[in-house]
Structure 1
Amino acid sequence: MSSSHASPDRAGASEHPANRLAGETSPYLLQHAHNPVEWHPWGHEALELAKAEDRPIFLSIGYSACHWCHVMERESFENPDIARIMNAHFVNIKVDREERPDLDQIYMNAVQAMTGQGGWPMSVFLTPEGEPFFGGTYFPPSDSRGMPGFPRVLLSVHRAWAERRGEIRQSAVEMTSHLRNAADAGRGKGEASPLSTALLDHAAKALIRNFDARHGGFGQAPKFPHPMDLRVLLRQFARTGDAQALHAATFTLGKMARGGIYDHLGGGFARYSTDERWLAPHFEKMLYDNALLASAYVEAFQATGEASFARTARATLGYVLDRMTDPDGPFYSTEDADSEGEEGKYYVWSLGEILEVLGVDLGRNFALTYDVSPAGNWERKNILNLPRPIAESAKDLGRDADELEAELAESRATLLAVRGRRIAPGKDTKVLVAWNGLAIAALAQAGRALAEPRFLETAEKAAAFLLDRLRTSDGRLLHTYKDGIAKLNGYLDDYACLIDGLTRLFEATGGPRWLASAVELADVMVAEFRDAGHGGFYYTGASHETLLTRQKDLFDDATPSGNGMAATALVRLAALTGREDLATIGRQAVEAAAKILEGAPSAGGQTLIALDFLLAPPRELAIVAGSDRREFAAALDAAFARFLPHAVVAPAPAEDREALAKLVPLLEARPAVDDHVTLYDCENFTCRAPVAGTSGVLAALAGAGRG
């Protein structure tokens, strides 16, 4: 089933004694800690028990914000009769896919191979050795809608295990072989074409062909934001001046920001839209979506100067700061769709509520603008959205557009305060390194491009927390943190996203710690994850537990592929540090995914971003501070005011100039001329004459162009 969100704060909701999940920190696992099912977390104890008792494993994978996971729990896992069947015949293991994406990847591939589709909750039956032989997603508690009831499935699998053990084991062996062969197929470079701008042009054309010219986005309902693809199109415009690419990206971003997928009161985007016009979302909010979309809106603002993109980026990151930030610095994972057992209840309004809160005059103006009607636009309620720009509503109302916007801003604040008194959706407060890395990158970009110092301060606090609290004594990353406990080996995307976030944070602030840590983590990532024989990276490290297969993460999903993000992080870091070994490894990671870029470019957006950077003439902007900090800050803001996706920025605060010169060759022997901020603009290994002083630097950067 496709996912929506449900409350994670349900541990102890049942009267059953606690099971083995009660000692876990994952909110998703704690949801199930009082089920009558004898759940085990994934681990040696459960796997050995299955072998010792010769029982198959029932593996259930989901996450705290998954609506249908919650439905199956309520219908089946809290049902004592169903639990008795499960406990009698299976070793039952619960996994949080956000904690264990390695297991989720392997067994999702198996379910998709068996059934032709996948989703969560994922329900997989395994041999005691962990080999999958039957699976699906959501099963109802009894036969309905053409689906077999879960008790029927359980008893059928039990009988097959008892009576046809040989067939099942053979099927499991064949499926495991299939999974391993599929993993091996991703390891060779194959016969892909050499890396060239033709791959970028081909990808842009494919995206534009799939562009929905009426509503924006790609394809039909359900419609996902595809931020990596939008950023690919913005880079195509920057590189070639392709007006179609720019239109597809900016039109989509504009439509999404006016749609119901966007929270017009509190900022931030829901996971995806159930319709083609961005009106009705599944209301869950994910940290990664908001980080990736904020970066896309910042880049659209840089590319066009359109103020609405800046407002959307600012409000989206404001949501992250207000609702998703731990007091110690890092960012939480998700907010649910459901509250009080109803999806979207927290977010929707009736016309009567709007008029009661705002009064008749202000309420009517607001309702006309935000598509609020007596009949409602979704299940007899209203999802706030802007079917047309506010300026058009102002014309209909006979109002000045700026005056109406000011009035609406006050009305939104009033409604937000009232909404804040409702029962809020549940929140998954675990910290995931990869998603935090994406947020740090977005805040770093936006902090400079939008001149928002609080974004930079927040990014630095989060980065310091991750580096201080989620690393082992030998420098390796841990994956997740909750309730004072950091655990689980970091995965490829943890390293790649954090390296990229730290690199961009250095570019925005000049802090030496961020760049030095990015280099340290890059060296660990290469040692732990690199496939030296075929190029690219495995998703799990060499130190990871042995699983059925060791896979490569080559395809973008809701988040960037680990391989594509690793390539992006390495080629950018190499451009700053002069580390040619990192540049070569990054290029090899792109080459490992070249077949995907040719055949399915929409699945390789992050890798295309890396390729776009690789193929451009290297551009370096060194900004060396004098004694005036304000000059330095103004110059950095100016460097981020234009869309320069093929450039790196090397800032050198006065107090850190010597330390940074050891990390960044570009900063060697680069003084601040006459103690004023100085710009060294280098392109294709040639540097222009330095420009000193605020006015000169700002003028030079203003003429830097948007490409």
Structure 2
Amino acid sequence: MANRLANSTSPYLQQHADNPVDWRPWGPDAFEEARRRDVPVFISIGYAACHWCHVMAHESFEDPQAAALVNERMVAIKVDREEHPDVDSVYMSATQALTGQGGWPMTVFATPDGEPFYCGTYFPPSPRHGMPSFTQLVSAISDAWVNRRDEVTTSAGEIAEHLRGQHLPVGDALPDSAALAEAVSRLRGAYDQQYGGFGGAPKFPPSTTLLFLLGHLARTDDPAAKEMIDGTLSAMARGGMYDQLAGGFCRYSVDAQWVVPHFEKMLYDNAQLLRDYAYAARFEGRDTDLDRRIAVEIVAFLERDLQTSSGAYASSLDADADGEEGSTYVWTEQQLADVLGNDAAQDASKVFDVTDAGTFEHGTSVLQRHTDADIEPWRGPLLQARARRPQPARDDKVVTSWNALAVIGLAELAETTGEREYADTATRVVTAVLRDNVVGDDDVRRASRDGVTGEARGVLEDYAALALALARLHVLTADRRWLERAKQIADAALERFADGEGYSDAPADHGLVARPSDPLDNPTPSGIALLAEACLTLSAITGESAYAETAERITARLAPLIAGAPQASGTAAWVAEAMVSGPLQVAIGGPAGPERDALERAARQLTDAGRLVIAGDDPQASPLLADRVGERAAAYVCQGSVCQLPAYSPDELAARVADMRRGLGERAR
């Protein structure tokens, strides 16, 4: 018999709908049932693309005897961490505090008030390597609840108090140019000069760190920033973490050399890397052809493999296919020969680093591409052959913030290439998100699926990313409606997530044992740092001082983290860099035609952090165009309330920008 997950909008929860465990979704009903029965709560947290989540489900949650034990002695809740990142954040903090590490599947036992008292990750079906079996653990938890209740509740209360008392250092002054240079110096100390990236294995794509370094490079031409950018972007693009045939990045590299990936493909990684590569492609003196190619191929991957019937993007592709990780993607020399023929396969093996010994399991190799050899004659036949293999499952839920990050990346690529199709794609995705993931004007939900709006409420990251995406789409298209929606969403975030002098990741009526507030970047950008960027962008568009003051207050609070932990504070550092850089605003008003097109092309190639470029012939379309539309196309370069004389040619525009940058540099010193 199906449990209570059958109608969930989460594919991960639906994967457990036929388990014999009597799962309940996250919500007050489950905790009320635990109070009524006077039993503890078992909270299992995972996500659809998680390999070990599937393993534990098969070993324990599908086992009738294990399920019967759970059903008899506790209330079981299944949580999709991607649908409830606030829940995941609270219990991950508890897991890390109790065990010194965290991960998924996350296994938490809590009181009916939601206070955790025992946490862990994966537990095997039989005792192994000093770990108890899952059923042994359930029995021990139940015994403690029945026979040592005072110890359990005392421990739970202490843990809950610890969670509520966690605080990171807070600053009161904005980072200046010297502070940002010091952050770059710290990053240089962690940089892997041989292989690119930061630290050792496993290596994750440092998306927000790269964004900050690009902004810093634009302002300072710092050779250390350039070295880290060039080495990391090239190594990731040429290694096995990138799908050399179909485009798109995997979650991370299990080794320091970027050879073998963990094969799940996440929307949030590809959305952020799309922004990085599209932005990097505007910088002279680096491999911009590679940057542009990777950005274009990421979009092709999103459109082909993640686009849903709604017009937005699905969350992820699984790491496994038919229970075997990576089997869709890896090759042997013989498999290449079977598709391409022996002569072509020899060439392809050299280009893709496919060896006799293999770089992955069972003598197979992950495709790499360390040369610029033409692979187009091989791409089609190899993709056709690959399509006949078992394919990874797709998590079809449409997450608000991840789609918003994709829109930001698409807008970046539209500016870099001048191609209208990317603006049209961004518009399509935003339209789908506003239709399916927002109730009314500003009630943002975390996710939807198949056009059905989910119940899970949006977290700060969702509101902030969506507001920023809408603001960026406004300046890209000169469409007033996107600015109005951006302000609605941002204003709702500022009201609902306020927490004293700062902002929390969950709204005030969150119903959790502690209100989560993580200012650090994780796989996705920090919600509070995204809010600062959204407010800074809106202040530059509208001139409204309240947005600017909020952005400055948030960034000042995050200053100690930028100084002490720049690898985990890239978004905040990027916002601080944009503040030091202006941000520049370039409004190009006047009739459509060659003169305006030339000014727009030149302006959109500017690399200044946070810069905004808008072009149009309607002075009502944006505050940036008000009083700037005449009979002849002209570009107005401004920063705040300071503007240069109008520019009527790309050369004049370059001179005005140079003058503004000099003024900004003097003020920064």
TM beyond 0.5 = yes
Which piece of structure 1 moves more, 558-567 or 233-242?
233-242
Q: 2:150: which partner in 1?
A: 166
Q: Alpha-carbon deviation of 1:634?
A: 5.2
Matched, 1:700 2:656: no
1:406-425 mapped onto 2 (5 Å cutoff): 408-425=375-392
Supply the distance in 1 between the matched residues of 2:600 and 2:352 (Cα, whole angstroms). 38
Aligned partner of 1:563 among 528, 532, 541: 528
Aligned partner of 1:258 among 230, 238, 256: 238
Supply the distance in 1 between the matched residues of 2:200 and 2:635 (Cα, whole angstroms). 47
Matched, 1:384 2:349: no
Matched, 1:452 2:408: no
Matched, 1:361 2:343: yes
Q: 1:626: which partner in 2?
A: 591
Q: 1:202: which partner in 2?
A: 182
Q: Alpha-carbon deviation of 1:384?
A: 0.3
1:160-559 mapped onto 2 (5 Å cutoff): 160-182=144-166, 185-186=167-168, 189=170, 194-304=174-284, 306-379=288-361, 380-386=363-369, 388-390=370-372, 404-405=373-374, 408-487=375-454, 488-531=456-499, 533-534=500-501, 536-542=502-508, 544-559=509-524
Give the counterpart letter for 2:283 in structure 1. Answer: A
Distance 1:688 1:614, change over 3 A: closer
Give the counterpart letter for 1:638 in structure 2. Answer: A
Which piece of structure 1 moves more, 59-68 or 616-625?
616-625
Q: 2:619: which partner in 1?
A: 658
Secondary structure of the structure 2 residue equivalent to 1:667: coil
Q: 1:592: which partner in 2?
A: 557
Secondary structure of the structure 1 residue equivalent to 2:382: helix
**Is 1:678–1:697's contact at 8 Å kept on the other side of the alignment?**
no
Give the counterpart letter for 1:80 in structure 2. Answer: P
Which piece of structure 1 moves more, 696-705 or 127-136?
696-705
Distance 1:308 1:114, change over 3 A: same
**Is 1:284–1:337's contact at 8 Å kept on the other side of the alignment?**
yes
1:314-358 CA-partner distances (Å, limit 9, x unpaired): 111211111111233211100111101100000011111101111
Q: Alpha-carbon deviation of 1:362?
A: 1.5
Aligned partner of 2:545 among 580, 585, 602: 580
1:447-489 CA-partner distances (Å, limit 9, x unpaired): 1202332211110011112223322225221221113321222
**Is 1:576–1:650's contact at 8 Å kept on the other side of the alignment?**
no
Matched, 1:74 2:58: yes
Q: 1:612: which partner in 2?
A: 577
Matched, 1:672 2:666: no
Q: Alpha-carbon deviation of 1:194?
A: 4.8
Which piece of structure 1 moves more, 498-507 or 613-622?
613-622
Q: 2:667: which partner in 1?
A: none
Q: Alpha-carbon deviation of 1:208?
A: 0.7
Q: 2:666: which partner in 1?
A: none
Give the counterpart letter for 2:470 in structure 1. Answer: L
Matched, 1:61 2:20: no
Q: Alpha-carbon deviation of 1:671?
A: 2.0
**Is 1:444–1:508's contact at 8 Å kept on the other side of the alignment?**
yes
Give the counterpart letter for 2:505 in structure 1. Answer: Y
Supply the distance in 2 between the matched residues of 1:451 and 1:352 (Cα, whole angstroms). 42
Q: 2:664: which partner in 1?
A: none
Give the counterpart letter for 1:588 in structure 2. Answer: R
Q: 1:22: which partner in 2?
A: 6
Q: Mark the runs of 5 or more structure 2 residues left unpaired by the alignment.
A: 662-669
Supply the distance in 2 between the matched residues of 1:52 and 1:414 (Cα, whole angstroms). 61
Supply the distance in 2 between the matched residues of 1:178 and 1:583 (Cα, whole angstroms). 34
Q: Alpha-carbon deviation of 1:699?
A: 6.7
Secondary structure of the structure 2 residue equivalent to 1:658: coil
Distance 1:301 1:559, change over 3 A: same
Supply the distance in 1 between the matched residues of 2:267 and 2:25 (Cα, whole angstroms). 25
Q: Alpha-carbon deviation of 1:702?
A: 9.4
Supply the distance in 1 between the matched residues of 2:565 and 2:516 (Cα, whole angstroms). 19
Supply the distance in 2 between the matched residues of 1:256 and 1:63 (Cα, whole angstroms). 25
Give the counterpart letter for 1:466 in structure 2. Answer: V
Matched, 1:94 2:78: yes
> TM-score, structure 1 length as denominator?
0.90
Q: Mark the runs of 5 or more structure 1 residues left unpaired by the alignment.
A: 1-16, 391-403
1:608-635 CA-partner distances (Å, limit 9, x unpaired): 111111222342100124143x664554
Supply the distance in 1 between the matched residues of 2:410 and 2:308 (Cα, whole angstroms). 15
> TM-score, structure 2 length as denominator?
0.95
Supply the distance in 2 between the matched residues of 1:42 and 1:171 (Cα, whole angstroms). 23
